[in-house]
A and B are shown apart, each in its own frame.
Chain A
Amino acid sequence: MRLKTLLMFTAPSAVLMLVFIFVPLISVAVQSLFSTTLVREQVKVETCTPGFLAQVCTTAERSQVVLRADGKPVTRTVFTGLDSYRSVLEVEKLAAAFASGGQGWTAVAGLDFWRALRFTLTFTFITLPLVVGLGMLIALAVNNMLRSVRGPLVFISLLPFIVTPVIGALSIRWLFVGDGILTALLRATIDPSISMFAQGWTIELLMLVYRVWHVAPFAFIVFYAGLQTVDQDTLESAVIDGASRFERLRFVVIPHLMPLIVFVALIHMMDAYRVFEEVVGFAAEAHVISLQWLTFNFLTPDFTGNRSISRASASSMLTMVGIVLLLIPLLVRVWRDHKPRS
């Protein structure tokens, strides 16, 4: 292909990437280095609010926001360097935890960023093999079914993937929260004192189960498509050579599907690292939070209407760095596979 043709084909996507990914990324990076604050003045004012029978008026010092002539608040933006990152990472407290006399890992469990990172990483790495494994299992099972029942089976297997994530998470929560029907069942069969939302580990367990249930169909449909392209001649010659069912899977099918496995793993890791719906849907903030939820929490206006833009930017930059680090091994593999053989 001539260079000019190549450029013309890729230009639209390159422009969109530039406008919608690259520019916002730079903007977030810049915002994480600056901090914008409101300018205030101390004034003595009288404030009146309703009392039960008569109005209550109090005069007190009040830090009032200074407004410009057009009614907009006066703000001041200063370069703060890596302060936002330091504040998100809570570097000093982390150092104190591991200094002599510190409490080590127990103290780290109380630092938001680090406990979010802990959960996000375990969540990603536990769901990854389960999603790939379960997806493969369903794909092989469906592929071995009679041709006439495959269609309906594919449809049914795909259903969990179609459910909107937040709705799915809420449904699971309602099944298990309080004396929800599944908790009631667990109480009747295992232990009458079970409460699924009373401690962190049971909530995490539900999150893992939910995510695997939700995403396995995606892995399944990709692998199922791949299975249709396995070379039947190779399989037949393997049978003639006396290869068992497992050996055929191990030496013919899996190597053939390897690029797809890498693809599913890549997509799943990117998705799982940004875990968010589960935390909101399960109302799990007290016990379990994720990195994406942390960013969201910084961005939510607090009771003064303020959003912590700098810290939210720092936190999302850190999330992005995390994803890139996680993906490097897989990307290196893809790169090696696609390099023209010399």
Chain B
Amino acid sequence: MFKRTLLATALATGLASVLAGPANAACGFANTLPIKTLSASFDAWKAVSAAWAECGNVQSELDMNFRNKQPTAFAANPSLYQIGGVANNTVVPLLNAGTIRPLDDLIAKYGQFLTPNQLIKIDGKTMAVAMMVNAQHFMVREDVLKELGIATPTTWDEVLDAAAKIKASGKMQYPLGATMKPGFDISQEFLNLFLGFGGVPTKADNTPSINGEAGMKTLALMKRISAFLDPEYLTSDSTFVARQFQQGRIAMANLWATRAGALDNPAESQVVGKVSMLAAPAAVKGGKPATTLWWDGFVIAKNIPDAEAEMAFRIAVEGIDEEMVKANNNAAVWLIKGYVPGRAAQGAIASAMGGAPNYPSTSSMGIVSAVLAENVADFMSGKKTAEQTLQAIEAGYMTRAKEQGLVK
């Protein structure tokens, strides 16, 4: 009873904290040290946090704004968290600040069951252990397409044609969804298409090369896409797009694989089983899927005693074992043994097979995302022309890169 009240309080304050009860049989050992974890908050992390809690004494904090507090919390001595959940981009601040430890010794001791594919290696040292891959891929209501006799689109031009037909049929006023909220969301939309057009955002000397042909094409395509989006699209994030799908208001969107499960959840969705997961559409005919591949995984703090790090690592790998995956098979596209790819995973797999690139874990890429996050909306809302926007993006990049010591 007490435990349940605590849980309710934690949920009510917005932190989906998972407070551990006593260790039980699901964890191979009983943890005696207090261990704290900080990660993003979506189904996969909820599943892993619940598995961690089984070892006892683990307090997990799941927060969509974790990236704002993680660098500072890990820089403290001792670190405020032992285990951190990260992805390609959020591992960069920790690497830059040197606040996470190499894991090779611990893997040799406790992580033999991990596959080599799970190990994130930088300069020969394993700095993080991945548990899943994630990607934005094409989700489409094939029942709607079939009804109107539209072939399944594979390029963005075809997507726009299909959208125009759906709109003309009067079935849906705004058939497309897109995550265009300023910040990470809109920067990813830009980047996916930009890479799809063959753009390379930075040169070898860390200077930007966004203001060019690929940049112009990307902005033009985004403008064309926006014609089929709900007019309030500049406030739309992944949750918003997922809800549009669930309510049957949109037919197509390029959305995160981690959201696929929710569309088939009968408790909140009106379109269970109707949304197909496909590779992200290509920006040009015959091109690679216009999306990036991401991984999510964990890191262990450097500023903690070795004994604590050892225990934290044991718990962390215990949480991503076969047992957890079997119980939560459809929560994510797991990289863990025992995973059977389900319906929800097809889009991410098809995108990866189609050759979608990995999002690179580099500082210059972090700056690219940051300036796109700030500037692309100015073009979409008509405050700047495409040329002005791309110039502002490059100027913003240089300001930040100088602050970071990336360029002189």
Binary interface encoding of chain B residues 21-65 relative to chain A, with 1 for a CB under 8 A from any of its CBs, else 0 = 000000000000000000000000000000000000000000000
Q: Judge if B295 is at the interface, Cβ distance under 8 Å.
A: yes
Cβ < 8 Å to A, chain B residues 113-154: 116-124, 130, 133
CB-defined contacts of B383 to chain A, threshold 8 Å: 109-110, 115
CB-defined contacts of A178 to chain B, threshold 8 Å: 230, 232
Q: Which of B97, B181, B361 meets A305, CB within 8 Å?
A: B97
Can you name the residue of chain B whose Cβ is closest to the Cβ of A90?
A: B395
Can you name the residue of chain B whose Cβ is closest to the Cβ of A74?
A: B405
CB-defined contacts of A255 to chain B, threshold 8 Å: none
Cβ < 8 Å to A, chain B residues 88-132: 88-90, 92-99, 116-124, 130
Q: Judge if B377 is at the interface, Cβ distance under 8 Å.
A: yes
CB-defined contacts of A177 to chain B, threshold 8 Å: 232, 235
Q: Judge if A151 is at the interface, Cβ distance under 8 Å.
A: no
Cβ < 8 Å to A, chain B residues 366-408: 366-367, 369-370, 374, 377-378, 380-381, 383-384, 388, 392, 399-400, 402-406
CB-defined contacts of B206 to chain A, threshold 8 Å: 63
Q: Judge if A283 is at the interface, Cβ distance under 8 Å.
A: yes
Q: Which of A51, A57, A304 meets B93, CB within 8 Å?
A: A304
Q: Which of B98, B234, B403 meets A65, CB within 8 Å?
A: B98
Distance between Cα atoms of A62 and B92 in the complex (Å): 12
Q: Judge if B364 is at the interface, Cβ distance under 8 Å.
A: yes
Q: Judge if B288 is at the interface, Cβ distance under 8 Å.
A: no
Main secondary structure of the interface of A (DSSP, over half): loop
Q: Judge if B286 is at the interface, Cβ distance under 8 Å.
A: no
Binary interface encoding of chain A residues 280-307 relative to chain B, with 1 for a CB under 8 A from any of its CBs, else 0 = 0011111100000000010011111110
Q: Judge if A55 is at the interface, Cβ distance under 8 Å.
A: yes
Residue pair A37, B124 in contact (C-beta under 8 Å): no
Q: Which of A136-144, A193-201, A216-224, A231-239 contacts B (4 or more CB under 8 A)?
A: A193-201
Q: Judge if A72 is at the interface, Cβ distance under 8 Å.
A: yes
Distance between Cα atoms of A200 and B382 in the complex (Å): 11
- Nearest-Cβ distance from residue A169 to partner chain B, whole angstroms: 13
CB-defined contacts of A55 to chain B, threshold 8 Å: 116-117, 119
Q: Which of A22-30, A40-48, A204-212 contacts B (4 or more CB under 8 A)?
A: A40-48
Residue pair B121, A305 in contact (C-beta under 8 Å): no
Residue pair A73, B403 in contact (C-beta under 8 Å): no
Q: Which of A49, A53, A283 meets B358, CB within 8 Å?
A: A49
Cβ < 8 Å to B, chain A residues 32-72: 35, 37-40, 43, 45-57, 61-63, 65, 67, 71-72
Distance between Cα atoms of A306 and B235 in the complex (Å): 25
Q: List 28 A-B contacts (CB under 8 A).
A: A37-B405, A39-B405, A40-B405, A46-B122, A49-B295, A50-B335, A51-B117, A52-B293, A52-B352, A57-B121, A63-B364, A65-B95, A71-B99, A107-B388, A178-B232, A284-B235, A285-B181, A285-B182, A286-B181, A286-B234, A301-B93, A302-B400, A303-B90, A303-B92, A304-B96, A304-B404, A305-B92, A306-B404
Interface set of A (CB-CB < 8 Å, partner B): 35, 37-40, 43, 45-57, 61-63, 65, 67, 71-73, 76, 87, 107, 109-110, 112, 115, 177-178, 195-200, 282-287, 297, 300-306, 308, 310-311
The 7 A-B residue pairs whose C-beta atoms are closest, nearest first, are A305-B93, A303-B366, A198-B231, A304-B366, A302-B370, A286-B234, A52-B352
